[in-house]
Every structure is written in structure tokens, then in C-alpha cells.
Amino acid sequence: MKNFGIGCVVKGKLPISYRSICEFFQHSLEIISRNFNHVLQGILLLKDEYITVLDLTTPCHPHIRSNSNFYPYFKDILGAIDRTHISAIVSRQKQKRYRNRKDFISQNVMAAVSFN
């Protein structure tokens, strides 16, 4: 779970340095780099099965095209990105960094999906 968290932080769009990530996770540059590479390799292993690249010639999803409330606003949309918190079980020493603003232990997960 920590590897995934490090991978998400490193890959995120925030202008954040590796040193800041090292401080946040309390690990060396080598460990942060290694964990990020593990996450990246895992994503690359799944790419053929779960990730497809859509081009601009992909037609709009039928549900959006047939709904006059959605179509004017979402006619050019290819997918959606959302995030959620999933409950996590971590050791007592690590609970502080996994405690969210609602005061329970969780892992923040972001996902991107198409409408198909």
C-alpha cells in the first residue's frame, strides 16, 4: 500500500520534489525511487488488459449523446477521473500518516475510467 501511495504522490501533478516525498514518508531517495519504479512496473504490467488509449475519433457514449441534459456539456468527454478513500489496516506506528480528515484510517485512491 505504501508503494502505491509513493507512486501516486510522485506521479501526481503537484509540483513536489523527491526530497519532499522523502520527508513525508520518512525514507531515503533510493527507497522512494525504488518504490515508485515498482508501482510504475505494476501499472505497465496491467496496461494491455486495463488501459486503452482513446483518440479524438472515438464517438461520444450513447447515453451522453441521447440525453439533452448531458450532451451539450459532455459531448467531447473521453472519460472521468475521481478519487475516494478506502479503509486501510496499518500498524499503530503508521496510523498517523493514514488518518484522514474524518479521523479514520484510509488510503486515498484515484481512478480514471472511460464510459465503456
User: Hey, where are the domains in the chain?
Assistant: 1-49, 52-116
Convert the pLDDT of each residue in 58-96 to its tens digit: 677 788 888 888 888 887 777 777 778 888 888 888 888
26: left (phi over 0), alpha (psi -120 to 50) or beta: left
pLDDT tens track for 88-116: 888 888 888 888 888 888 888 877 776 66
Of 82, 8, 13, nearest in space to 39 by CA: 8
pLDDT digits (tens, 9 = 90+) for 1-60: 455 555 555 455 445 677 777 787 788 888 888 887 888 888 788 878 777 666 667 677
